[in-house]
Amino acid sequence: NGEKSSQQQQQQSQVLNKKRKREDNDRDGQKRHQVKREDNDREGQRRHQGHSGKELNGKSERLNNNGKGRNGSPVNSSLKAKANALLSKRKDLPIWAHQSEIRQSLAKKNVMLLVGETGSGKSTQVPQFLSTEPWCRPQMVKVAKDGKGPIEDLSVGGCIAITQPRRVAAISLARRVAEEMGTPLGNSSPASTVGYSVRFDNSISRNTKIKFLTEGMLLQEMLRDPWLRQYSAVVVDEIHERGVNVDLVAGFLQKMVSGKNEGRGGIPLKVVVMSATADMEGLLKFFDAGFKQPTAAVNGKGQKAIKKDEEETEWSGISSDDNKASKKAYGTPNGTVSKPGPNTDSKSNALVKKHKNGNPEGDESAPFTEFDPVKFGSPHISVCFIEGRQFPVKIFYTPEPVQDFVDAALHSIFQIHYKEPLPGDILVFLTGQDTVENLEQLVREYASGMSPELPKLLVLPLFAALPQAAQQRVFQPTPPKTRKVILATNIAETSVTVSGVRYVIDCGKVKIKQFRNRLGLDSLLVKPLSKSAAIQRKGRAGREAPGQCYRLYTEKDYLQLAQANTPEILRCDISQAILTMKARGIDDIINFPFLDRPPREALEKALLQLYQLGALQDDGAISEVGLKIAKLPLTPSLGRVLLAAANPDMDCLLEAIDIISALSVENVFLNLTSEEKKEEAETARRDISRREGDHLTLLATVQAYAGENSDRKAWSERHFVSHRAMQAVMDVRKQLRAQTTHLPISADDIVAYDSRTYAVTPERAGLILRCFLKGFSHNTARMMPDGSYKTIIGNQTVAIHPSSGLFGKKVEAIMYNEFVFTNKSYARGVSGVQMDWVGEALA
């Protein structure tokens, strides 16, 4: 056997080498990736607790087994059978033993903090535990709907919201919980009790009792009903991810749980905050502070508007001195990336105990610490700690830094595939759609030359912009004699659980959005990940059995990583967040309870940008335009474009929707590396290329693709366009059309638009670009006498990205969709514009 496998290995190596030679690129010089086996089995196997399920609450059993939907309709018996089959798995989850504790705590206190490693069962079980509690039933109350006006009979509660940072997690969790409960999913049947709501996709029924939704969607719901009257509880999941939206959600909820709930007829909203790695002490203080300093009513009526002269008010809030200790201990620095270091703060040391199953040596221990609820408990908040269940994971580092992680990952995949037996799927962490697609192509190519005796490789990409159906494929069981290779962005770090994974390959990098003050805008940067993220990635290999993690960086580099991710609110453009707060009636931004207060410069920039967009009035209050933008599921800039396009003078809403849909995916066009292919693509795309630039080219692409009725896949291949990306674009387009019906756009308009043969005239193209300038006047640059471009605001040099159709062209001025920084500053998604249009937009 050993001989056979070594022969196979040799054979495969030859195939690989032959193929590689043909690839005449600069990777040739690369050394074969070597991994140093290092016995890093320090963690030891954690207690694997099996539970008898004795604590199963009778009600929950009835809910699963009574065979009826809430409205009494018979539930499909195969759904019921599947739910019964899943019950034993549920009982085996670490959280199961805490079921009564969680129920009892929430019956007594309205806020609960719950920490447990990824996979312990938080997201799937907590909503099921709570949905049968007596406080979770809808109740009729007599209240004034909007705080004033006549008293009405209104229903409060009955539903549980669980927020997720990502769409894919919200959908896959809803699907899983529906299966576990034996109910159809979402809007597929009126009997369904589990649904989800994500941007561009709302799948709920009138009986939805458990609703997974993205943080952004919950914020949108808060704009419609600040009291969240349909909910009995909001579960904030994955708070450790710390995107801007979850920080806002936390701020709003902190105000709400400590208030009087006037708008809910006095019925409290229960809040559960869950995390895999959270700063429990900081969170406890944060929610406790709400009770200590009663805040104004949640609708913010009567609060002062922020005026320019008031911006000098002292910067105060929850992230003040008494929170510094926890920041030091948990590495949530103010705007800078922290370096790990010995924690000398005795106060925090006293508060923090290493988790009993963790590794006493430090670095590779469970990334969270245990909070002592007795000593630091609050009369309003309970804390629950779920013990982890993690099998040992061996870590391999590269002996030297890796130049090209895509190449290194390719080698590691085949190294694992030849050496390691089945079962055991591979999960590869990459930076973005581009690297995922590059590696996908390479793996497919090499796999096609593999010996037929070897197990098959099933390559599955997973990134946020992937169409729904493709995303869900990673969750399907691996077919026999096959190894799944999932190529993912950090989406798979904590948000989604993919079963079957035993091998993790971690590129060590992550693509993050970062605000660049000098430029006054966000750009996407590829950065080293944090230690806490590296530990999460590694952990994905040890969920079901002992695993292996291949880190494509050296151990020295690992030790130098920052401890934790910087919260997004400290590093990104926060204009959308500010607009949401203003639309929600919070005018006094300064006194909003932020988990981490955004830097003053960022706040000022955001306010300025909102003024420029016309979303705020001179006195700082939200304008009519601002209110309309806040209700669109888009950034303020793109929202402003849509409003401009809907204006009857412009009348190009459907065109704007097409372009915005195309901008919502990372890249519509295939990433081509060889010059030969690039030239071929240029010729093939002649009919969709527009000399005005990328916006109009995208429009032509969407229109041509949508107009292609016979074979869209073949059309895409002919044009070197990503069929997959275009499917996602069409999803977004459909949803945006449906969600802008309050703007003047009728079904007839859409039919007329869709049945037209397109040729956007230069005049109309100008009109469309002028609409985009309404939202992007800050993303403009003019040509200098030497042919270079300098930004109109800030006077910074910026070059047109090689991926742009305008690359190498000289035009009076450019407008761009996004700013990227690799080795220099690039504008991406570029169109040529006239200076007087820019002046018109800035006026």
Binding site for ligand CDP (CB under 6 A): 93, 116, 118-125, 172-173, 176, 475, 497, 499
- Helix, strand, coil % in the chain, rounded to nearest 5: 40, 20, 40
| Helices vs. strands in the chain: H and E counts, helices first | 29, 26
Residue 74's H or E segment, with its range, is none
Tokens of 103: 């129920």
Nearer to ligand CDP by C-beta: 85 or 835? 85
Nearer to ligand CDP, 123 or 131 (CB): 123
60 or 120: whose CB is closer to ligand CDP?
120
Q: One-letter amino acid identity for 510?
A: V
Other C-beta atoms lying within 10 Å of the C-beta of residue 36: 12
Tokens 């495969």 belong to which residue? 12
| Cβ 204 vs Cβ 242: under 8 Å | no
Q: Do residues 512 and 525 make contact, with C-beta atoms less than 8 angstroms apart?
A: yes
Nearest CB to ligand CDP, comparing residues 124 and 739: 124
- Shortest approach of ligand CDP to residue 209 CB, angstroms? 17
Residue number with CB closer to ligand CDP (475 or 772)? 475
Distance, CA of 276 to CA of 495 (rounded, Å): 10
CB of 339 to ligand CDP, least distance (A): 29
CB of 118 to ligand CDP, least distance (A): 4
Q: Which is nearer to ligand CDP, 48 or 810 (CB)?
A: 48
If one counts every other C-beta atom within 10 angstroms of the C-beta of residue 810, the result is: 11
CB of 94 to ligand CDP, least distance (A): 8
Shortest separation between residue 528's beta carbon and ligand CDP, angstroms:
25
Minimum separation from the CB atom of position 455 to ligand CDP (A): 23
121/186 with CB nearer ligand CDP: 121
> Least distance (Å) from ligand CDP to the CB of residue 497?
4
Tell me how far apart the alpha carbons of residues 524 and 671 are, in angstroms, rounded to a whole number. 17
Distance CA 436, CA 406 (A): 9
Q: Which of 371, 592 has the CB closer to ligand CDP?
A: 371
Give the Å distances, CA to CA, from 68 to 127, 133, 182, 441, 480.
19, 19, 10, 47, 36
Q: How far, in Å, are 38, 364, 368, 604 from residue 555 at the CA level?
A: 10, 12, 21, 41
CB of 126 to ligand CDP, least distance (A): 8
For residue 27, report the phi and psi dihedrals to the nearest 5 degrees.
-75, -15
Provide the minimum distance between the beta carbon of 194 and ligand CDP in the complex, in angstroms, as a whole number. Answer: 12
Residue 447 is encoded by which pair of tokens?
A: 């796999």
Per DSSP (E only), the strands in 491-595 are 501-506, 509-516, 521-528, 547-551
Nearer CB in complex with ligand CDP: 17/476 = 476
Least distance between ligand CDP and beta carbon 241 (Å): 12
CB of 199 to ligand CDP, least distance (A): 19
Asked if 118 and 277 count as a contact pair (C-beta separation under 8 A), the reply is no
Interhelix angle for 244-257 vs 215-224, to 10°?
50
Between 176 and 770, name the residue whose CB sits nearer to ligand CDP: 176
Closer to ligand CDP by Cβ: residue 126 or 450: 126
CB of 197 or CB of 575, closer to ligand CDP: 197
If the CB atoms of residues 177 and 318 are measured against ligand CDP, the closer one turns out to be 177
Residues composing the chain: 843
Distance in angstroms (rounded) separating the CA atoms of residues 590 and 577:
13
Closest separation between CB of residue 372 and ligand CDP, Å? 22
* Residue among 114 and 765 whose Cβ is closer to ligand CDP: 114
Query: Which residues, including other chains, have CB under 8 Å from residue 779's CB and lie 6 or more apart?
Result: 521, 637, 815, 816, 817, 818, 819, 827
| Cα–Cα distance measured from residue 790 to residue 92, given in angstroms and rounded to the nearest whole number | 60
To the nearest whole angstrom, how small is the minimum distance from the Cβ of residue 237 to ligand CDP? 7
Supply the minimum distance, in Å, between the C-beta of residue 123 and ligand CDP: 3
**Cα 176 to Cα 172: distance, rounded to the nearest angstrom:** 6
Angle between helices 653-663 and 762-776 in degrees, nearest 10: 60
CB of residue 537 vs ligand CDP: minimum separation in angstroms? Answer: 14
What is the smallest separation between the CB atom of 93 and ligand CDP, expressed in angstroms?
6
H/E element, 403: none
Which CB atom, from 129 or from 291, has the smaller least distance to ligand CDP? 129
Encoding tokens for residue 582?
């203003």
Nearer Cβ to ligand CDP (177/610): 177
Alpha-carbon distances of 122 from 38, 272, 384, 760, 792, rounded to whole Å:
32, 10, 11, 52, 49
The 3-state secondary structure of 315-329 reads CCCCCCHHHHHHHHH
Give DSSP secondary structure letters for 630-673. HTSSS-HHHHHHHHHHHSTTT--HHHHHHHHHHHTSS-SB----
- Please state the closest distance from residue 285 (CB atom) to ligand CDP, in A: 24
Over the range 125-139, which residues count as b (16 or more CB within 10 Å of their CB) and which as e? bbbbbbbbbeebeee
Phi, psi of 677 (to 5 degrees): -65, -40
